Amino acid sequence: MSPDPLPIVNPLLEVSDFDSDAGRPMKLCKLPRGDGQGEVRFAVPAEYLELARAFDGSRDVDAAVQAYIDGHAPAREKAWLTRLVLESLMPKGIIIGGDQDPGSVGASSQSTKAFLHIKLPLIKASVVEPVARTLSFMFRPTAMLLGLSLFIATHVYVYGVLFRHQHFDFSQLDIASVLLMMLFSTLATTCHEFGHATAAAHFGCRNMTIGWGMYLIYTVQWTNVSDAWKLPRWQRAVIDIGGVYFESLFLVVLLAAHLWTGNPVYLFGFIFVDLSIATTFNPFLRMDGYWLVSDLFGIVNLRKQQEIWWQDLMARLLLRDGHAPRSTLSRRAKWVLGLYTVLGTLFIGYVMLTMFRVVVLSVIANLPAFVGETWRQLASGATLLAVLHALMEFTWRVLVIVGAGLTFWNIGKGLFALFGRVRTVAAAAAGRA
């Protein structure tokens, strides 16, 4: 009987530099996901890859760790390094058994839906990429400067000149105008997503898919630009604002249509799209503002870092001086994270309260009356537009109920897990006393 093949570094592992605000040099490691659903990426302290290189197929784990210690004199002791290999590098698929399939071991802890309730791909990467590459000249500095000038000029003209002579009340829009507004919104959002994809293509990223999904109670379009993790932070930030850049070009089209036809609905469309641009910079929802904060300050996995911030705070309060903080961020990043976490928690609390008031106290409570009234109107003879409007109103209600239900369910599970951790920390504190 032949002995088991010795462990090796996964031959499918792709390594590049990783730009973050971590306290020490990091590398980006990319592997195919074992379940075939894309890729998994890890930010790994650079010295661990030196350890991984000792796994060349000629040594077992013990001998490879020893060879690394002999060659590098690391600060960590052998038992800790062995645990690192057995409990992290091997389960993640960075080091594999010699008899394992390298394409089936990349393990991810994330759902394929990421943070969305629903995630449906709409436009495949093979369609997105040629379009994005063709448009990538838009991210040359001169083109971006021109775009910025156009953005400022259109806004000065709309709010400084046109706005003075118009009264805007969205509740006064008729059914046809509301449907037109939805069309504008969808077109603007599609431009937005191609903006992200084009910026990513400009910097050499691949595999950008565009899709539709549901986030909290909102329907959203999304672009997967995970390949951008390999880029320097300033290039990632350009990708973050690329969506707004392209969406603002759509605003120019709406303004031109208004000036050409004199129809105020295009101006309503301009303002509506402008408002959605403003909300996309909110850093506490997972939209462009979130990625901007993450990239500009080099804090990766901002949501997870928030959780660690709270855990460190609780442990410090409960364990006093016996706690080693888990966060490894620099001092500046820790301050930014602290501020972001406190404000973000307050904001999310406000969103949850609003969601409860809107969905539970209003939408669900009024649903029977809405259905009865709509049915009566449709039964007494209705135009196609009225039917479409009723369908739209009903869909809106169903979506917010489903979205809020899933959100509250996740909150419940999250709180349950959080209390579990608090109990663990409290038990540790009691054990010390």
Partner 1 sequence: MANNTETQNESLLIDEFEIIELEDRLELANRCNGRCDGQTKPPAAA
Nearer to partner 1, 5 or 121 (CB): 121
Nearer to partner 1, 161 or 409 (CB): 409
- Is the dihedral angle over the CA atoms 283, 286, 287, 290 positive or is it negative? positive
Residue 319 token pair: 């364990």
411: nearest Cα among 112, 117, 212 = 117
Q: Which of 72, 326, 423, 432 binds partner 1 (CB under 8 A)?
A: 326
Nearer to partner 1, 142 or 311 (CB): 311
How many amino acids of this chain bind partner 1 (CB under 8 A)?
107
Stretch that binds partner 1, among 121-129, 148-156, 253-261, 364-372 (CB under 8 A): 364-372
Q: Does 189 bind partner 1 (CB under 8 A)?
A: yes
Nearer to partner 1, 286 or 323 (CB): 286
Alpha helices by DSSP H, 286-383 = 288-297, 302-319, 331-355, 365-379
Which parts of 211-240 interact with partner 1 (CB under 8 A)?
Answer: 213, 215-226, 228-229, 239-240
Q: Does 279 bind partner 1 (CB under 8 A)?
A: yes
Q: Which of 55, 192, 258, 334 binds partner 1 (CB under 8 A)?
A: 192
What are the E-state strand segments in 114-270?
118-123, 209-215, 218-224
Q: Which of 247, 248, 254, 298 binds partner 1 (CB under 8 A)?
A: 247
Q: Residue 353: is it exposed, middle or buried by C-beta count within 10 angstroms (0-12/13-18/19+)?
A: exposed
200: nearest Cα among 216, 215, 182, 222 = 222
Q: Does 281 bind partner 1 (CB under 8 A)?
A: no
Nearer to partner 1, 249 or 352 (CB): 352
Q: Does 417 bind partner 1 (CB under 8 A)?
A: yes
| Side chain identity at residue 329, one-letter code | L
Q: Which of 12, 43, 143, 318 binds partner 1 (CB under 8 A)?
A: 43
| Side chain identity at residue 308, one-letter code | I
Residue corresponding to tokens 């000149």: 161
Which parts of 129-168 interact with partner 1 (CB under 8 A)?
Answer: none
Q: Which of 414, 423, 424, 427 binds partner 1 (CB under 8 A)?
A: 414
Q: Which of 66, 207, 276, 330 binds partner 1 (CB under 8 A)?
A: 276
Q: Which of 115, 137, 159, 335 binds partner 1 (CB under 8 A)?
A: 115
Nearer to partner 1, 92 or 202 (CB): 92
User: Is the Cβ–Cβ distance between 105 and 34 less than 8 Å?
Assistant: yes
CA 19/CA 235 separation, integer angstroms: 11
Do the bridges between strand 218-224 and strand 209-215 make them parallel or antiparallel, or are there none, so unpaired?
antiparallel
378 Cβ contact list (under 8 Å, min separation 6): 386, 387, 390
Q: Does 363 bind partner 1 (CB under 8 A)?
A: yes
Q: Which of 53, 354, 356, 432 binds partner 1 (CB under 8 A)?
A: 354
Q: Does 392 bind partner 1 (CB under 8 A)?
A: yes
Q: For the window 68-97, what string marks contact with partner 1 as x by the rule CB under 8 A?
A: ----------------x--xxx--x-----
227 Cβ contact list (under 8 Å, min separation 6): 200, 205, 206, 207, 208
